[in-house]
């Protein structure tokens, strides 16, 4: 999924549990998690972790089902290093 995709997923899921203005101030850094806000925000982070885990399991299963990758093509097997010069 990559770093950018992970950040987008994390911010989207975690921000869904608090208001838009509050999420903006938390992610930009103009506010901190105190009191009841942190109690609402932490389950969003937990949901992000769970969703990422589910996606990793699905991708891993699909990768396993695909089988071993054949990196040599029939044409490449007949080319010698001398032919590449």
pLDDT digits (tens, 9 = 90+) for 38-73: 777 777 778 888 888 898 899 889 988 987 776 666
**pTM above 0.85?**
no
- Domain map (residue ranges) of the chain: 2-65
- pLDDT value for 55: 86
- Dig out the tokens for 40 from the structure: 């609402």
CA-to-CA separations, 57 to 6, 51, 54, 62, in angstroms, rounded: 15, 10, 5, 9
What SS3 state is found at 47?
helix
Ramachandran assignment for 16, one of left (phi > 0), alpha (psi -120 to 50 degrees), beta (any other): alpha
pLDDT of the residue at 42: 77
What is d(CA 58, CA 41) in angstroms, rounded to the nearest whole number?
26
Q: Pick the residue with more confidence: 16 or 66?
A: 66
């Amino acid at each position: 999924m990559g770093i950018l995709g992970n950040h987008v997923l994390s911010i989207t899921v975690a921000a869904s549990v608090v208001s838009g203005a509050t999420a903006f101030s938390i992610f930009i850094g103009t506010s901190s998690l105190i009191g009841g806000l942190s109690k609402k925000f932490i389950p969003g982070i937990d949901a992000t972790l769970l969703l990422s885990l589910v996606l990793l399991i699905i991708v891993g299963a699909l990768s396993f089902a695909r089988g071993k990758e054949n990196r040599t093509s029939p044409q490449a097997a007949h080319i010698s290093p001398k032919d590449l010069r």
